[in-house]
Chain A
Amino acid sequence: MRLSSDEIVFWQYGLFKINATIVFTWALMLVLAVGSKLVTRKLSTGLERSRWQSLLEIVVTGIEKQIEEVGLRGPDKYIGFLGTLFLFVASASLCTIIPGYEPPTGSLSTTAALALCVFVAVPFFGIEQQGLGGYLKSYVEPTVIMLPFNIISELSRTLALAVRLFGNMMSGTMIIAILLTITPFIFPIAMSALGLLTGMVQAYIFSILAAVYIASATRARQPAPEPAADRRNTSSVLKRNDHG
């Protein structure tokens, strides 16, 4: 029994291998990129819109709303990264209804790469928002004693992201494979339907967790101005009342 799609090798020359993971990753990337390019080639702003444009609009506005609900301001800046993560993981698990397809997220290399992207993106957005000093200060936030634990949590959540997605996708295909040998009539279909649901939930969770991590790295100084602005408004109102 195979543990991941890395073990199906299509072509090999010395150290270079082209395995099923790489092939399906590139196929998904091609479908996503070429498909959205084709759809956005002739966009209309009028009332008449094509079906595909409506679909993409629903997807993009849905992702934007979710990002905003997590607490990231200005979702336009993050949708390029978080939306890509979500769309890739979601389409990787949705395509499992195609026979002969192996989800590339069922290989630890793919999920580790995605988690490493999150690992790099969190300090990137954090430094962009609060500067290098402000970001580094968030590591010693309550006290200096927390410094090693903050670093450990940074590393362990990357590992957790990778292993969670890998474990879920791998367990889905493995359960279907085991059930096919025991009860090959109806249960594999029910389990693959459950696998579709799990895949969507995992895609949602992967991108939401990435959004939460980015939000926690960028948020630190943002909530401060609001009470001050409120106080200024009330004091100006009071002053106006005094004048009156």
Chain B
Amino acid sequence: MDSITLIAIASIVTAGLTIALGSIGPALGEGRAVATALSSLAQQPDSASTITRTLFVGLAMIESIAIYCFVVSMILLFANPFWNHIIAQAAGK
């Protein structure tokens, strides 16, 4: 196997692993956050606006972890610096 194939395999497998493993944690966290917010909404419907606002902000903070993984996997797939480097080297030869 030459290095182009190796880099391609490593990038694709790592991109899949990144998004697969990286979405487990945020999914569990968001589920917990929404469940807790719903039960506190049921207990105190008067403070619905505060709970909803805090929930949205918190969900965005949790979700951003998954978004980082998504961005990393997209970079690996579509704007891979190692791939570009090896392609440029091959073209230079």
Q: Which residues of A are in contact with B by a Cβ distance under 8 Å? A: 1, 3, 69, 160, 163-164, 166-168, 170-171, 174, 201-202, 204-205, 208-209, 212
By size class, the interface of chain B is: 10 to 19
Q: Shortest beta-carbon distance, A7 to chain B, in Å?
A: 10
B57 touches A208 (CB 8 A): yes
A69-B49, A163-B64, A209-B57 given; 18 more Cβ-contact pairs under 8 Å: A1-B78, A3-B78, A3-B79, A160-B64, A163-B67, A164-B63, A164-B67, A167-B64, A167-B67, A167-B71, A168-B67, A170-B71, A171-B70, A201-B56, A201-B60, A205-B60, A208-B57, A212-B57
Instruction: List chain A residues, Cβ under 8 A from B74.
Output: 3, 170, 174
- Inside 8 A of B63's CB, which chain A residues have their CB? 164
Residues of A within 8 A of B70 (CB): 167, 171
B53 in the interface, Cβ–Cβ < 8 Å? yes
Of the A-B pairs whose beta carbons lie under 8 Å apart in the complex, a sample of 11, sorted by A's number, is A3-B78, A163-B71, A164-B60, A164-B64, A166-B71, A167-B67, A167-B70, A174-B74, A201-B56, A205-B60, A208-B56
Tell me which residues across on chain B come within 8 A of A205, comparing CB atoms: 56-57, 60
Q: Which of B56, B67, B75 has the most CB of A within 10 A?
A: B67
Q: Are A167 and B78 in contact (CB under 8 A)?
A: no
**Which residues of B, 34-60, contact A by the 8 Å Cβ criterion?**
49-50, 53, 56-57, 60
Instruction: Assess whether B53 is in contact with A69, with CB atoms less than 8 Å apart.
Output: yes
Which residues from A are CB-within-8-Å of B49? Answer: 69
User: Is there an interface contact between B53 and A208, defined as CB atoms closer than 8 Å?
Assistant: yes
> Which 9 A/B pairs are nearest by Cβ-Cβ distance?
A167-B67, A205-B60, A164-B64, A167-B71, A3-B78, A3-B79, A167-B70, A164-B67, A160-B64
Pick the most buried of A69, A164, A170, A202: most chain B CB atoms within 10 A of its CB. A164
Closest chain B residue to A202, Cβ basis: B60
The prevalent SS among residues of B at the interface is helix
Chain B CB count within 10 A is highest, among A163, A166, A174, A209, for A163
B79–A163 CB distance below 8 A: no
The smallest C-beta distance from A24 to any residue of chain B, in angstroms, reads 21
Q: How far is the CA of A164 from the CA of B64 in the complex (A)?
A: 5
* Docked complex Cα distance between A201 and B68 (Å): 18
Q: How far is the CA of A160 from the CA of B64 in the complex (A)?
A: 7
Please give the distance in Å from B27's CB to the nearest CB on chain A: 15
The chain A residue with its CB closest to the CB of B49 is A69
Cα–Cα distance between A174 and B74 once the two chains are bound (Å)? 10
Q: CB-CB contacts of B21-41 with A at 8 A, as 1s and 0s?
A: 000000000000000000000
Max count, chain B CB within 10 A of own CB: residue among A166, A201, A202, A205: A205
Tell me the complex Cα distance, A205–B53, Å: 9
CB closest chain-A residue, reference B79: A3
Q: How many Å lie between the Cα of A143 and that of B50 in the bound state?
A: 31
CB neighbours of A212 from chain B (8 A): 57
